Amino acid sequence: MKQADEKRDVFVAIADPTRRQLIGILADGKELPLHELTPHFQMGRTAVSKHLTVLREADLVRNRKIGRETKYRLNPEPLKEVKDWIASYEQFWNERAAILKNILEE
Q: Identify the CATH number of the domain defined by range 10-76.
A: 1.10.10.10
pLDDT per residue over 29-83, tens digit each? 999 999 999 999 999 999 999 999 999 999 999 999 999 999 999 999 999 999 9
Locate the domains of the chain by residue range: 10-76
Given a cut of 50, is residue 5 above it in pLDDT? Answer: no
Check: CB of residue 19 under 8 Å from CB of residue 30: no
Determine how many CB atoms are found less than 10 A away from the CB of residue 84.
9
pLDDT at 82: 94
Sequence-distant (6+) residues with CB within 8 A of 78 are 10, 58, 59, 60
- 32 has which bridge partners? 72
The pTM assigned to this predicted structure is 0.80
Sequence-distant (6+) residues with CB within 8 A of 32 are 25, 26, 71, 72, 73
